[in-house]
Each structure stands twice: as structure tokens, then as C-alpha cells.
């Protein structure tokens, strides 16, 4: 379900009402098995509205990981083999639907005259997210971190839970499954918190991200005619756009989860205030970072090995991160760039746990380190946004040579809305990072709180863009 759509505005209240009405009509205060069944049916129904047959892919991943986890539990000698079979079978749809054409295209290019056929199938929405979530569960069972789930309906809901299936957060089974199996009650405090996150996420998406997206698309979709200055400005705008887009979705997903009585993992923690690339990945897409750290980096040996092997583990982990984001050389290079930067930080001893981390000068230079980190992340986002390495080469060339003159300027109204949204978001982030006592949404004064709510609602209605494309991370 697209949270910034009119469909969500009328459909979610029905889901919310039906969810709590089940227990009310039964004379119970707690949500039972019937509520889980309703959530499962709703999750599949919402998923099927895009491309109905893709639900079979979701069901396949669910069945494979569920059954293989049970087999791992009862097996005495073949646990590792079963886990590998389950992982390969569970990840196969992701490889086929998302990467097959990329592989075939590159093979054809290498052959020069290759004519291997590609597939003209839609990529199931959220396949990268629910595949990783399901594989993580299987590995956790194999590593005996959690017991295998025997209730198939509960496990199916864990994989398909509608607020997070399209773009995360990627939940661990140890976090979400106990909540699914628990008897939940309506919690007014949680519901109010969920509404706040839903509201702020809507602002980030519709007012900031989509407004900035109008400018970014105008520049990058016509990069041949743009100056180096325009491409540079667009890169900074995209840096803020992708944050507003993805953090906005995550907050809305967490907010909807809270309204239904679930605590989903936080996915962002003001990433552009990170003072190193290592710290950036502890603040950006936290659930993916946690997944990659647990199931790739640590499985490869983590930092419990030689320095050279540790750097290799980092590079492989970020290669997986790049490939996970998309079947394009730009994503692969983006991931490798982040991996190289992390390795460089460790080699130079300037990462958060490096040999220089406790020096007074290192701490005094934190504003400089934040700026440098932001600029490096911004450069990497240019690769992330552009459709090919050839286009990226042209755009970087324009920026480095400052080709052309003048800046592409949007209409006065669009420019005004962009500046207003950026000012509000940056100011709020600064307050939360450096002045945590100043909290507009959580102020003790009722007047200040409600003024903040009404201001955000008014800006969403006045400045929000509701006819733009889907969330950026939905296509991943």
C-alpha cells in the first residue's frame, strides 16, 4: 500500500476499524488469532493489487523458508546443507526476477554477438525486502538464535506484514514474531505516537522529497542540456530527496505498525550528521545495515581475523549492498565506493573506533568530519541516481569542469516550497541532534504541540505532491 495515496486515506481506517472490531465483537480486550488471520488476508490482498501472480512468489519464499527451518530443527547431521538449500531456494526468485536480465545483457555484451533472451516479467514489489527477512529467519534458526516457528499463519504474517513488505524496515524474527504471537491490546500512547510518525513521514515524503524530486528529475532527465552548476545543485537536492523519501516511508510504516500494536525497528537516525562513513551506515537504513552485518559480514569472519581479511569482508558486504539495491553497474559501484571509504577510514585510523578517535583534535574537527562525510555520501548518491555509468561519466564531467553557465531554476512556487520544507526538516534535525530538549511534537506545552501538528498538516495539504511516482525504495 502506498502511504501517500488517496487509497490509503480511505482504506486504512477500514482496516484499522476491522482489526480492533474483531476483539470488541467477541467481548475481548486482546487481539487473538482472528486478528492475525485478518492481517494476513489484508497483507496478501494489498500485495496482489499490483501484479496478482507475484503473490505466488511471496508464498514460495514463505513456504520454502518455513519448511526448511523445521527441517533444520529435526535434522541431526544435515543442518548446514538444509540451510544452504533453503537459502538458495528462497533467494532464487530474487535472482531470477531482479538480476537475470542484467546478467544476460552483460553476457551478450561480452560475446559481442550474443542473443540470449531476457525475461519480460514484472519484478515483484518488495522482493528484496521480504526475501532478506525470510532468509534471516532461516539462518537464525540454523544458528539456534531462535526456535523454528511452527504456526504457518503466524510465520506467513511475519514475512508479508503489509506496512513493511514493500520497503521495510527489515525485521528480525526475534523482534516481530513474538509480537505477532502475543495478545495485543489497543494502546492509546502507542497509537498517538504512531499518528505522529505517520504525520511526519507524510511531510518528509510529500512536501520535501516529492518537491525536490520535481527539480532533480528536471535536471537529471535532461542532463545533456544542463550546466555543471545545475548538476551539482541537483545532486544536493537528491541527497535530501532520497532521505525524505525513504525515511518518510519508514516512519509511515512504523507509525502504521504502532497503530496496529506492533513496534517495528527504527530505520534512520539523522544520517547526515554522521562524522564518518562507518557512522553513516549506523544511522542510514539501520535494518539493512544490521542484516548485512549479521548475515554477511559476521558470517565471513567479521573483524575476528587479519586486517586484510577484514577489509575483504567489508568489500564483499558492500558489494552485496550495492547488488541488493539494483541490477545496475551504478549500484555496484556505489556499494564498492562505500566499502572502499570504510576500509580507508580503518586504515587511516579515523573511524569511530580508530587509533585517533580519542584525540582532542579529532573531536574538535567533528564539524569538518561531518561536512566531509556528507560530501562523500553526496558524490556516491550521484551514482545511485543516474541510469548508467555512461551518464554518470558525463554528469561528473560537467560538475568537475563546471561546464556551461547558469542554474536551472524551478518556478517561484516550487522553489519556495522546496526552501520551506528544507528549512523545517534541517531545523528539526539540528534540534534533535544537538538540542534534544527542544521537541516540537513532544513539547510539554499543549499549545506548542498542537500548533506543530496543525502546521505540518497545513503544509502537507498546501504544499504536498500527491500525484508523483512511488517511493524510490519500492523498486528495490
The C-alpha torsion from 434 through 435 and 441 to 443, rounded to 10°, is: 170
The C-alpha torsion from 223 through 229 and 233 to 235, rounded to 10°, is: 50
Which one-letter DSSP state was computed for residue 294?
I
User: What does the block give as the cell for 429?
Assistant: 534535525
**Interatomic CA distance for residues 211 and 207, integer angstroms:** 6
- The verdict on whether 285 is a catalytic residue reads no
**Interatomic CA distance for residues 142 and 86, integer angstroms:** 11
SS (H, E, C) the chain: CCCCCHHHHHHHHHHHHHHHHHHHHCCCCEECHHHHHHHHHHHHHHHHCCCCCHHHHHHHHHHHHHHHHHHHHHCCCCHHHHHHHHHHHHHHHHHHHHHHHHHHHHHHHHHCCCCCCCCCCCCCCCHHHHHHHHHHHHHHHHCCCCCCCCCHHHHHHHHHCCCCCCCCCCCCHHHHHHHHHCCEECCHHHHHHHHHHHHHHHHHHHHHHHHHHHHHHHHHCCHHHCCHHHHHHHHHHHHHHHHHHHHHHHHHHHHHHHHCCCCCCCCCCCHHHCCCHHHHHHHCCHHHHHHHHHHHHCCCCCCCCCHHHHHHHHHHHHHHHHHHHCCCHHHHHHHHHHHHHHHHHHHHCCCCCCCCCCCHHHHHCHHHHHHHHHHHHHHHHHHHHCCCHHHHHHHHHHHHHCCCCCCCCCCHHHHHHHHHHHHHHHHHHHHHHHCCCCCCCCCCCHHHHHHHHHHHHHHHHHHCCCCCCCCHHHHC
Within 10 A of 187 (CB to CB), how many other CB atoms are there?
Answer: 13
Chain mean position to CA 467: 22
**Interatomic CA distance for residues 440 and 447, integer angstroms:** 10
**Interatomic CA distance for residues 223 and 246, integer angstroms:** 24
Active site residues: 325
Amino acid at each position: 500500500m502506498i502511504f501517500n495515496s488517496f487509497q490509503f486515506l480511505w482504506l486504512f481506517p477500514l482496516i484499522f476499524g476491522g482489526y480492533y472490531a474483531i476483539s470488541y465483537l467477541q467481548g475481548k480486550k486482546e487481539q487473538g488469532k482472528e486478528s492475525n488471520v485478518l492481517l494476513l488476508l489484508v497483507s496478501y490482498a494489498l500485495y496482489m493489487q499490483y501484479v496478482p501472480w507475484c503473490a505466488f512468489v511471496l508464498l514460495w519464499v514463505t513456504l520454502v523458508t518455513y519448511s526448511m527451518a523445521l527441517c533444520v530443527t529435526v535434522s541431526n547431521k544435515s543442518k548446514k546443507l538444509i540451510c544452504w538449500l533453503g537459502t538458495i531456494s528462497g533467494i532464487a526468485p530474487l535472482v531470477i526476477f531482479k538480476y537475470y536480465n542484467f546478467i544476460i545483457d552483460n553476457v551478450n555484451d561480452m560475446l559481442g554477438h550474443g542473443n540470449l533472451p531476457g525475461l519480460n516479467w514484472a519484478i515483484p514489489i518488495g522482493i528484496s525486502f521480504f526475501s532478506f527477512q525470510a532468509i534471516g529467519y532461516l539462518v537464525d534458526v540454523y544458528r539456534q538464535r531462535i526456535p523454528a516457528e511452527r504456526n504457518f499463519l503466524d510465520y506467513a504474517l511475519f514475512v508479508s506484514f503489509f506496512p513493511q513488505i514493500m520497503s521495510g524496515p527489515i525485521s528480525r524474527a526475534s523482534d516481530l514474531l513474538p509480537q505477532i504471537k502475543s495478545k495485543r491490546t489497543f494502546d492509546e500512547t502507542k497509537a498517538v505516537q504512531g499518528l505522529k510518525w505517520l504525520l511526519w513521514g507524510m511531510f518528509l515524503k510529500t512536501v520535501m522529497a516529492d518537491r525536490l524530486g520535481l527539480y532533480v528529475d528536471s535536471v537529471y532527465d535532461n542532463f545533456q542540456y544542463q550546466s555543471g552548476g545545475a548538476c551539482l545543485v541537483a545532486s544536493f537536492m537528491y541527497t535530501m530527496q532520497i532521505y525524505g523519501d525513504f525515511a518518510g516511508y519508514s516512519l509511515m510504516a512504523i507509525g502504521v505498525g504502532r497503530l496496529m500494536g506492533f513496534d517495528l525497528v527504527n530505520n534512520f537516525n539523522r544520517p547526515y550528521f554522521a562524522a564518518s562513513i562507518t557512522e553513516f551506515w549506523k544511522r542510514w537504513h539501520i535494518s539493512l545495515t544490521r542484516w548485512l552485518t549479521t548475515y554477511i559480514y559476521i558470517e565471513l569472519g567479521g573483524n575476528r581475523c587479519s586486517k586484510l581479511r577484514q577489509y575483504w569482508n567489508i568489500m564483499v558486504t558492500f558489494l552485496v549492498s550495492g547488488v541488493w539495491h539494483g541490477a545496475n553497474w551504478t549500484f555496484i559501484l556505489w556499494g564498492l565506493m562505500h566499502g572502499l571509504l570504510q576500509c580507508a577510514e580503518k586504515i587511516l585510523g579515523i573511524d569511530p573506533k580508530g587509533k585517533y578517535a580519542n584525540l582532542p583534535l579529532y573531536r574538535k574537527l567533528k564539524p569538518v568530519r561531518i561536512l566531509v562525510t556528507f560530501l562523500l555520501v553526496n558524490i556516491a548518491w550521484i551514482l545511485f541516481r543516474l541510469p548508467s555509468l555512461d551518464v554518470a561519466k558525463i554528469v561528473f564531467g560537467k560538475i568537475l569542469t563546471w561546464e556551461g553557465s547558469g542554474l536551472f531554476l524551478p518556478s517561484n512556487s516550487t522553489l519556495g516550497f522546496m526552501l520551506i520544507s528544507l528549512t523545517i526538516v534541517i531545523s528539526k534535525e539540528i534540534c534533535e541532534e544537538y538540542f534534544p530538549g527542544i521537541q516540537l511534537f513532544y513539547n510539554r506545552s499543549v499549545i506548542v504541540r498542537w500548533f506543530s501538528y496543525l502546521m505540518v498538516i497545513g503544509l502537507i495539504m498546501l504544499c504536498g505532491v500527491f500525484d508523483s511516482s512511488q517511493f524510490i525504495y519500492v523498486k528495490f
